């Protein structure tokens, strides 16, 4: 119930205004977000990669319904990728992209062409793009766009959300050679007809999906902070005789940083999802909804400032 309430609040204009104007918000938000500028993103990326971690950068600004705003988001990605290329960070840092940020509201073809521009910039920077999955109503369209992009940019990553009932089916379709697939639990509200809502059922789905991906021929990117799921992933890597460079763990910036470094120190590939930008509200609220520990941290911060 709490998770659903937070997800509803992520779409609330009134809740957004309260959060954005509250004096305590800035310090708490910086726990999960690198900052507002490309310089902030570059600083955090340099720090993480110097510690042996990989990075996926997300320029915040989803769900735009303005073409000029969509164009600005495209340009922000191109500028970021040029910065990564100039710093020779392409082998350590990629970008994550939400199609809603680059104009999917104006049609899938519009978003596809903008995504092509970003993928071309990524190729010039010697890196790649992973298309984030969003609301359940866009899953089929987004996977279709992944397939279209892969015709020219075969290393484009797809995302599967384990809380959706068709997740295992999508994993089976995507577990082919050369296919990069991020598996996450999912952080959007969805009806029970298409999604699991019980945490245990979501975890079971995540394990079923991991089994499919780790036994397949693609490159699994396992996005979880759950110690049990991380242990199962390690066991599956042994069972399927996977070398450390044939899959990776992914975690969010600001969540379990010690575990990120521990896994990397033991030879695992660990990628940190780093978001930055001024439009942080929806992203931040979904982070609170994902894990009770995040909400506890937030509430402690409020009490400390009262």
Q: Is 132 marked active-site?
A: yes
pLDDT of residue 291: 56
How many angstroms separate the CA atoms of 220 and 207, rounded?
13
pLDDT of residue 255: 87
- Please give the angle made by the CA atoms of 96, 100 and 105, to the nearest 5 degrees: 160
Q: Are 63 and 101 in contact (CB under 8 A)?
A: yes
pLDDT of residue 254: 86
pTM over 0.75: yes
How many angstroms separate the CA atoms of 302 and 263, rounded?
32
pLDDT of residue 283: 75
DSSP-derived secondary structure letter, 82:
H
Q: Is 256 marked active-site?
A: no
What residue has token string 């350590």? 92
pLDDT of residue 302: 42
How many angstroms separate the CA atoms of 24 and 28, rounded?
7
Q: Are 117 and 74 in contact (CB under 8 A)?
A: yes
How many angstroms separate the CA atoms of 1 and 209, rounded?
25
pLDDT of residue 279: 78
- Residues of the chain under the 50 pLDDT cut: 2, 5-10, 15-16, 18, 21, 23-24, 299, 301-306
Q: Are 273 and 58 in contact (CB under 8 A)?
A: yes
Which residues are CB-neighbours of 164 under 8 A, at least 6 positions away? 136, 139, 170, 186, 190, 194, 195, 196
pLDDT of residue 18: 47
List 3, 83, 92, 132, catalytic entry? 132
List 182, 256, 271, 286, catalytic entry? 182
How many angstroms separate the CA atoms of 150 and 156, rounded?
6
């Amino acid at each position: 119930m709490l998770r659903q309430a937070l997800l509803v609040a992520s779409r609330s204009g009134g809740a957004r205004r309260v959060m954005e104007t509250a004096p305590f918000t800035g310090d708490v938000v910086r726990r999960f977000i690198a900052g507002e500028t490309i310089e902030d993103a570059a600083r955090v990326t340099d720090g993480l990669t110097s510690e042996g971690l990989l990075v996926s950068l997300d320029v915040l600004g989803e769900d735009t319904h303005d073409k000029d705003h969509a164009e600005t988001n495209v340009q922000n990605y191109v500028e970021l990728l040029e910065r990564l290329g100039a710093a020779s960070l392409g082998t350590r840092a990629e970008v994550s992209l939400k199609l809603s940020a680059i104009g999917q509201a104006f049609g899938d073809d519009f978003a596809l062409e903008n995504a092509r521009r970003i993928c071309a910039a990524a190729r010039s920077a010697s890196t790649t793009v992973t298309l984030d999955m969003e609301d359940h109503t866009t899953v089929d369209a987004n996977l279709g766009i992944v397939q279209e992009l892969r015709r020219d940019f075969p290393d484009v990553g797809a995302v599967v959300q384990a809380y959706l009932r068709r997740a295992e089916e999508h994993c089976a379709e995507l577990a082919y050679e050369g296919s990069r697939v991020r598996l996450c639990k999912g952080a959007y509200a969805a009806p029970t007809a298409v999604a699991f809502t019980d945490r245990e059922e979501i975890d079971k789905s995540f394990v079923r999906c991991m089994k499919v991906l780790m036994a397949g021929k693609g490159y699994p990117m396992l996005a979880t902070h759950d110690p049990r799921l991380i242990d199962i992933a390690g066991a599956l890597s042994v069972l399927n005789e996977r070398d450390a460079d044939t899959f990776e763990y992914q975690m969010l910036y600001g969540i379990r940083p010690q575990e990120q470094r521990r896994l990397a120190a033991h030879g695992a590939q660990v990628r940190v999802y780093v978001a930055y930008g001024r439009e942080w509200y929806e992203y931040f609220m979904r982070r609170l909804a994902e894990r009770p520990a995040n909400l506890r941290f937030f509430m402690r911060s409020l009490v400390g400032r009262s």
